[in-house]
Chains A and B, each alone.
Chain A
Amino acid sequence: MKLAVVVQRYAADIGGGSELHARYIAEHLAGHADVRVLTTCARDYVTWKNEYPAGETRVHGIPVERFPVAYERDPRDFARRSSLVFEEMHSVADELAWLDSQGPVSPALIERVRHVAAESDFVVLFSLRYHTAFHGARAAAGNAVLVPTTERDPALGLQIFGPVLRGVRGIMYNSPEERALIQDLHAAGHVPGLTVGVGSQILAAIDPSRAATAFGLDRPYLLYVGRIDVNKGCAELFDYFSQYAARSDRPLDLVLIGTPVLPIPDHPRIRHLGYVSDQDKYDVLAGAEALVMPSYFESLSMVMLEAWAIGVPVLANGRCDVLAGQCLRSNGGLFYSNGREFDAMLDTLLDDPALADELGENGRAFYTAHYEWPVVERAYLDMFERLAAGAPASRMEPLPGWLAARPRTARPGAAVVDAAPRGPVPADGKRETES
């Protein structure tokens, strides 16, 4: 079987998000198929500046073809167009212009996808919102398997994504919440889909005492791993934790791992370790009382899966449907919706070690059952077999013509997404709270 993986950036040193997801999938499917990666020369997801040389290379043994990005992103133009399509009535032409403004625009890559699709069994495209996935899916419509990696983002409310989601051969969802949102917004229920997610690379030797010694972690701590950003809910986390620390005399620290975008409060109980190696990350994670995940927008949260993989319970932001849903399905963590609940959930985890350990064990079992690599690989292979056995569910709808794309009849993307049902999707697939 021949597979092509299309993603906006690809390199061994690009961590987190859909790029890492794509790399893991490519590397693990390489054991079952002839895998080739098609990507751009960009390294920076903000500018899309061409930093890697164009041409073919190998990353961890996987052949990678890089194509140059036609132009870098203009932040002002992108901000203006984002404001238009997310907050005002607009046209399909406006949405297409927004997509071009977002980038990365690489006509050579899309042309290559068209050729590779003809000679491959399937083309797996990552991150629906980017130019590469949108136009790549259209170029490889008959063989396109989309991994949308979407969250509750206004971009998902744009009209242009509907035809792509309805026209691909199959969709690999990260979570039931993502699947429900996409089906609610774009009526893609008839397209074969599977909620599979992604595994992680868990280190063999993990030693919390090593991290305790290296970083001087001599008190119990709550751990956050990821970009320290307002968009990740870190400002709220600092607020909640500061108030918790003021109220509680429990010797608990908040330890942060990741690159700071947000100023970190100068608080005696908040410690920032910076960007650390994988070994250190897992060592610190293994010694944590719990992993805290305060983000409002997550498609899956790989770090939560990593915590569960080593038996660490999770304290998540319940206002993110995916995080709450993952906690409910795994029984591996608690989730909060406000400061009081943050305090109460944290106290519960700390007061009852047996419960915390049980949550961690549940998380480990959940990871083993759903996110171990053999499970994920099998899910992809089953999906490919299923798609190969059947005909495409529908054809890709063409883009509207010049005139048809001009009427400003499209609703603001944010309003469209806000109107979609909310809430975690429990095991039975029915939401408790729907709006």
Chain B
Amino acid sequence: MAADQHPHSGRRQHFHRGRRGQDRRGDRRPSPPPQAQAQAQEPGQVEQADVDRIVKDIKARIAQRHGIDLSAQQIQELAARRLEAILDPRTVKPGLLDQLRKAAGAPADLAPAEPADAYTFEDHTIYDTHNGLLRFLRKLLAPVLKLFFNPNPIAAALNAQVRVNREAARREAERERTQAEWNALHYTVLQRLVTEVSRVSIEMQSLSLRLESLTTRADFTERRIRGLEAPPAAPPSPARTFDTPAAAPAGGAARPSADTVGGDAQAPEGRRRRRRRRGRRGSLPGGETAGGGAALAPAAADLAEGDEDTFDDGPDGDGPEADDAMPPSPASVAVAPPPAGAPEPAPPAPTAEAAPEPFERVEPARPPAPAAIAPAFEPPESPGAAPADSSTPSSEPSDR
């Protein structure tokens, strides 16, 4: 800008482009992942960006992912404590442990040490003395001594003994050195094993938590599917089952079942489909087979009564559960029986076939479920988990 040009010329005080998002950045911006799209579409979840919450959620997620991803130093310290526990000080001398630790850290001693008591024995050794006069006299009288016996074999034997002693000392030193190396190796291996066990143990804890989370999620999903598929429970009628057509018309007008709402033409097909699905999944609670008509009503009752207990067992505040933390599905309204003595019947609901898929997001404007059913579909308490998914990183950040 020229020095004499006023900055206001050619500028305006507030820029408004009127172009946002994809339009602003052209077609270069990558498409959002389905999860982000789904959340963006959900009016209750991305209603107002709160940077404080988003940042805290992301930090919490990072901490959750890497919370037990200890540093190498921390794992070493943990392993050292475990090793202390393994090497029970009541059975292992503390001095020995110190020696092992030192040996493990010390470099290998390649040259065997000379024995401390090594000595030489020559022919003249028996005449040696510090006193010069005495040494002279012994030397002078040696021929006299040799008149009585021959000292040479004695000197040779002692000389050989010296060699034997030296060899034995060398072997002993070598053995000790080898033993020290083995000890150090054993200690190092043990230490590394304990470190590895510690690492694996930490990883196992992490996986256990994840497994527990996924189990809870799967259980929740399973119950939702069952809730979506379960036919309405009939009014108390001990003789009637789904497989007894004679009894069905009698209660047909009284119960708002999928059969009545969805039409008779769809009912047998829907029932067959439910049976097939149950057949794939195996038995229902109580050990009865899925195809058993009598099992359906208890299953529905179980759904209505027992699901809260299931969620009490789930971990709190876990992300994946929050993904499924949705309002009651309309399908559950359609298939659930009205609570006994309810003042008003359940509002009209779509048929089981027309209901959304189990993972499909539900518009909050749909009619709520009856009070007796709603708690079964209430998500577990997961503070801060659900909204955070709007900011879920697509992949694992790298370690730094």
Contacts and interface: CB of A to CB of B under 8 A. Distances in A.
Interface in B59-85: 59, 61-62, 66
B40 to A, nearest CB: 4
A4 to B, nearest CB: 21
B14 A309 contact: yes
B26 interface: yes
Contact of A202 (B12, B51, B393, B399): B12
Contacts of A34: none
Given A204-B11, A243-B398, A311-B17, A334 B51 contact: yes
A353 B22 contact: yes
Contacts of A359: 49, 51
Given A347-B395, A348-B58, A351-B32, A61 B6 contact: yes
Interface of A, helix, strand, loop or mixed by DSSP: helix
Contact of A60 (B6, B29, B39, B40): B6
A386 interface: no
Interface residues of B, number: 52
Interface in A80-127: none
B33 interface: yes
Interface in A229-261: 243-244, 246-248, 250
A344 B61 contact: yes
Contact of B52 (A328, A343, A344): A328
Interface string B1-31: 1111111101111110100111011101110
Contacts of B39: 352
Interface of B: 1-8, 10-15, 17, 20-22, 24-26, 28-30, 32-33, 36, 39-40, 46, 48-52, 54-55, 58-59, 61-62, 66, 390-395, 397-400
A286 B12 contact: no
A374 B14 CA distance: 11
Nearest to B46: A354
Q: Chain A, interface size: which category?
A: 35 or more
Contact of A348 (B1, B14, B40, B393): B393
In the A-B complex, list the 5 residue pairs whose CB atoms are closest, starting with the nearest.
A343-B397, A339-B400, A347-B393, A354-B40, A348-B391
Contacts of B13: 199, 202, 372-374
A328 B50 CA distance: 8
Contacts of A11: 3
B390 to A, nearest CB: 6
Interface stretch (A36-44, A170-178, A206-214, A387-395): A206-214
A279 to B, nearest CB: 9
A107 B390 CA distance: 59
Given A341-B59, A351-B392, A206 B15 contact: yes
B11 to A, nearest CB: 5
A250 to B, nearest CB: 7
Contacts of A61: 6
B7 A60 contact: yes
Contacts of A136: none
